[in-house]
């Protein structure tokens, strides 16, 4: 893969996304407000919850706020780069527009995964970062450069895990034509990520730790910042699952695209 060529192509996709967003400024601002209101409701939930208890497991109130902020930060980064593209894949298949992407002399998955950028999500990610900073000040945390680096790497891994899992679900459209319901169903599971992993037990925790690792995606980076990591095993697990799910999604994509016969066939 020619890296310079693909970076240039991605720059063009960004330019198109900016032009599209600026054509509908009202919609752009409205979605930012809607996402911020939802984020605010999550923080209100934490306030109400901790008015009844001092801690959930070993998680104090401001550690929980840090977790909610990290969860929203990762979710917004995922939304910025991948969400719209994953949800639109079934429309490309249904309408036959996938023909056009398959004929282009570039990697098809690159185009269908990154052609649209949600710029408003970057604004919301910034607000989440501000909440994390405020929570860290309340906790008197002083993260080292190594902690910041680890946090960034684990957040990137979390984004890629979400992308890999949702892309697998999106490619089901090659069998069913429409798969938006399945994709949005997984997106709703993001709400679990803002809860402490210690709040869950048994099979439920096992499923959302190993099969669908939404608990690990936000809990592990937050633990790194909050000095709650007791052994390297937990972040090695997250990194390992990132590699495994990335490999599975690529394998499933190659199998799925072979079934495509275009809308006119």
Which pair of structure tokens corresponds to residue 256? 């799925």
Quick check: is 262 in a domain? no
Domains held by the chain: number: 1
pLDDT in tens, 83-128: 999 999 988 888 888 988 988 889 999 999 999 999 999 999 999 9
Residue 59 phi, psi dihedral angles, 5° rounding = -90, 120
Does some domain include residue 86? yes
| pLDDT for residue 248 is more than 80 | yes
Residue 95 lies in a domain: yes
265 located within any domain: no
Residue 174 confidence (pLDDT)? 86
The contacts of residue 105 (CB under 8 Å, 6+ apart) are: none
C-beta pairs of 254-260 under 8 Å, 24+ apart in sequence: 256/171, 256/172, 256/174, 256/175, 257/102, 257/108, 257/171, 257/174, 259/174, 259/175, 260/93, 260/98, 260/102, 260/174
Q: Is residue 263 part of a domain?
A: no
- pTM for this predicted structure: 0.90
- C-alpha–C-alpha distance, residues 21 and 84, integer Å: 13
Residue 1 has pLDDT above 60, yes or no: no
The more confidently predicted of residues 224 and 201 is: 224
pLDDT in tens, 35-88: 889 899 989 999 998 988 888 888 999 999 999 999 999 999 999 999 999 999
* Per-residue pLDDT band at 241 (split at 50, 70, 90): very high
Examine the pLDDT at 216 and tell me if it is beyond 60.
yes
Q: What is the pLDDT of residues 160-207, one digit of tens each?
A: 999 999 999 899 888 887 767 777 777 777 778 888 888 888 888 888
Could you tell me the residue range of the domain that residue 195 belongs to? 3-257
The pLDDT of residue 213 is above 90: no
Name 180's Cβ contacts closer than 8 Å, sequence gap at least 6. Answer: 87, 90
For the chain, give the longest Cα–Cα distance.
63
Q: What local confidence, expressed as pLDDT, does residue 125 receive?
A: 95
pLDDT at 159 over 90: yes
Is 264 a domain residue? no
| Tokens at 64, concatenated | 């929980």
Q: Is residue 108 domain-resident?
A: yes
The pLDDT score that the predictor gives to residue 263 is 59
248: in domain: yes
Vertex 138 angle, CA 236 and 198, to 5° = 40
């Amino acid at each position: 893969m020619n890296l310079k060529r693909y970076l240039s192509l991605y720059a063009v996709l960004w330019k198109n996304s900016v032009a599209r967003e600026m054509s509908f400024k009202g919609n752009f601002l409205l979605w930012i407000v809607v996402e911020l209101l939802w984020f605010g409701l999550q923080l209100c939930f934490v306030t109400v919850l901790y008015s009844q208890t001092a801690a959930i497991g070993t998680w104090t109130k401001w550690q929980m706020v840090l977790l909610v902020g990290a969860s929203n930060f990762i979710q917004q980064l995922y939304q910025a780069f991948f969400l719209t593209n994953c949800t639109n894949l079934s429309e490309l298949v249904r309408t036959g527009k996938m023909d056009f992407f398959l004929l282009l002399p570039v990697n098809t998955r690159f185009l269908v995964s990154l052609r649209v950028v949600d710029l408003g999500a970057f604004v919301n990610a910034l607000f989440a970062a501000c909440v994390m900073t405020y929570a860290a000040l309340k906790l008197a945390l002083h993260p080292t450069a190594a902690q910041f680096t680890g946090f960034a790497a684990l957040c990137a891994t979390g984004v890629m895990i979400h992308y890999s899992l949702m892309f697998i679900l999106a490619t089901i459209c090659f069998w069913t034509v429409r798969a938006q319901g399945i994709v949005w169903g997984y997106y709703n599971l993001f709400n679990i990520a803002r809860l402490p992993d210690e709040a869950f037990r048994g099979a439920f925790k096992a499923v959302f730790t190993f099969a669908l690792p939404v608990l690990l995606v936000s809990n592990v980076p937050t633990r790194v910042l909050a000095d709650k990591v007791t052994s390297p095993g937990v972040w090695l697990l997250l990194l390992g699952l990132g590699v495994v799910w990335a490999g599975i999604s690529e394998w499933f994509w190659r199998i799925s695209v072979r079934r495509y016969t275009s809308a006119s066939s």
